[in-house]
């Protein structure tokens, strides 16, 4: 008889805050656990990145939400403790967690910096029944690494992830197919994986308010209203999902970066400099993934929070920084009226392909081979010596970073680091995960 698939979803509780708290307790010798007081990890309000990135349970109890501005959070809780993010530390903690899981399961698929699926199928002789094995993994992480996780257990990835979100923190939940009517179907439809605000609004307009109602709706009706996504949601609501894990991260379907300016942008030259910074980062990521984009988009947010978006096809797919940047500037110049102060600018690259065919044009006058060699040389220098080793002259003595948007430099450069040699003990033994980073943060 074939062995039943047993998939577990492991999710770190309030990851950024938990990792910060664990580090301060274990490595800095502090006695106050940030998870026991109203505390948040937040961006820098001076650069207008002042939003809540992670929160403690006491902060959550006071109505503080992830993603809201810090000034709103402080209005809800005047004695709120705010700590800056330390992405280098988070990368180290994530790598240690994933390496630990790989010691316990034959297959691990990382979903994000703080989430992963593990396949426990056929491990009963090693670790006992799946429920016992999952409890042991959860407890070992708490005792050895100092932070807690939620674990969801089921027969496929979607049900396992849904189970892990039932109640937190430091809990284990099951959602096997026979439990779907009692545990899944009574939930509000917004609790289903991949149901965002827009999908929820459309489903409610159709009279669908619970997962059970969605599961019993005609798939053809859902497909007419939400296209292919509607059929996907119907499958999730009925418990159908992928049960095969892969260790290889899927390629991006698009690349996007945005930057919030420290002061409102009112000059076209400064806006173009920000666009170049964003294109540098996005194009380098594309080249690392051996991807080429066919469509460039520009996103603008004004000082009064109005949004402006436009996109345009490239003549042919490209991974060239300058080619993408020039297209972004053309779009921006048509999109911006030249008078509205801008708070945030963003660049997106979509319709990506892994194997472009560039047709030479006699009238373009562009040496693509020269651009490709230039980009490759800059990528190699940055890879060996860091992002600041080479940059374009327009960023000299400029407040705009030469590569900006989305991920901080620590996150972009730290994720690719090697896994700990002794993952099970790395978090306990490593007194300073990334030397040199502490002094910058404290």
Query: How does pLDDT run across 174-198, given as a tens digit for each residue?
Result: 999 999 999 999 999 999 999 988 8
Phi and psi (nearest 5°) for 196?
A: -95, -175
Alpha-carbon distance of 128 to 153, in angstroms, equals 15
* Contact call for residues 317 and 292 (beta carbons, < 8 A): yes
Alpha-carbon distance of 142 to 12, in angstroms, equals 10
Alpha-carbon distance of 280 to 381, in angstroms, equals 14
The token pair that represents 117 in the structure block: 């699926």
Which range is most confident: 37-46, 289-298, 368-377? 289-298
- Rounded to an integer, the average pLDDT of 319-330 is 94
Question: What is the band of 356 on the pLDDT scale with cuts at 50, 70, 90?
Answer: low
Domains by residue range for the chain, with CATH: 1-180 (3.30.70.270), 185-237 (1.10.150.20), 255-408 (3.30.1490.100)
Give catalytic residue positions.
Answer: 115
Classify strands 149-154 and 172-174 as parallel, antiparallel or unpaired.
Answer: parallel
Per-residue model confidence as pLDDT tens digits over 57-98: 999 999 999 888 888 999 999 999 999 888 889 989 999 999
Which pLDDT does position 364 carry in this prediction?
Answer: 52
**Per-residue DSSP letters for 211-257?**
HHHHHTS-HHHHHHHHTHHHHHHHHHHTT-------SSPPPPS-EEE
**Per-residue DSSP letters for 310-327?**
EEEEEEEEE--HHHHHHH
């Amino acid at each position: 008889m074939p062995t039943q698939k047993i998939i577990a979803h492991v999710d770190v509780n309030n990851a950024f805050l938990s990792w910060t708290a664990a580090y301060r307790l274990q490595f800095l010798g502090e006695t106050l656990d940030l998870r026991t007081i109203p505390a948040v990890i937040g961006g820098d309000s001076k650069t207008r990145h002042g939003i809540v990135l992670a929160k403690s349970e006491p902060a959550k109890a006071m109505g503080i939400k992830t993603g809201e501005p810090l000034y709103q959070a402080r209005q809800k809780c005047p004695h709120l403790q705010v700590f800056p993010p330390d992405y280098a530390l988070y990368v180290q903690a994530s790598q240690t967690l994933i390496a630990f899981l790989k010691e316990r399961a034959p297959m691990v698929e990382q979903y994000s910096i703080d989430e992963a699926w593990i396949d426990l199928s056929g491990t009963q002789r090693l670790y006992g029944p799946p429920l016992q094995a999952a409890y042991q993994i959860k407890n070992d992480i708490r005792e050895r690494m100092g932070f807690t996780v939620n674990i969801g257990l089921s027969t496929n990835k979607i049900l396992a992830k849904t189970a892990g979100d039932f109640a937190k923190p430091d809990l284990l939940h099951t959602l096997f197919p026979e439990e779907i009517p009692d545990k899944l179907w009574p939930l509000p439809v917004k609790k289903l994986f991949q149901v965002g605000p827009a999908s929820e609004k459309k489903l409610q307009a159709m009279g669908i308010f619970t997962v059970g109602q969605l599961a019993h709706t005609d798939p053809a009706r859902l497909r007419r209203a939400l296209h292919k996504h509607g059929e996907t949601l119907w499958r999730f609501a009925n418990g159908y999902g992928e049960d095969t894990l892969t260790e290889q991260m899927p390629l991006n379907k698009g690349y996007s970066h945005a930057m919030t300016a420290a002061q409102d942008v009112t000059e076209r030259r400064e806006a173009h400099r920000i666009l170049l910074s964003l294109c540098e980062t996005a194009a380098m990521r594309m080249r690392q993934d051996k991807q080429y984009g066919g469509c460039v988009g520009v996103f603008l947010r004004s000082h009064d929070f109005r949004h402006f978006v436009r996109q345009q096809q490239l003549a042919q797919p490209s991974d060239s920084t300058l080619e993408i940047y020039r297209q972004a500037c053309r779009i921006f110049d048509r999109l911006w009226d030249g008078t509205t102060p801008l708070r945030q600018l963003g660049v997106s690259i979509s319709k990506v392909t892994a194997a472009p065919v560039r047709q030479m044009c006699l009238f373009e006058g562009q040496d693509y081979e020269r651009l490709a060699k230039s980009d490759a040389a800059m990528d190699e220098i940055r890879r060996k010596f860091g992002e600041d080793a080479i940059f374009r002259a327009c960023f000299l003595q400029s407040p705009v970073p030469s590569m900006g948007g989305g991920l901080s430099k620590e996150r972009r450069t730290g994720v690719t680091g090697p896994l700990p040699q002794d993952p099970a003990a790395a978090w306990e033994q490593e007194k300073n995960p990334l030397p040199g980073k502490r002094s910058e943060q404290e």
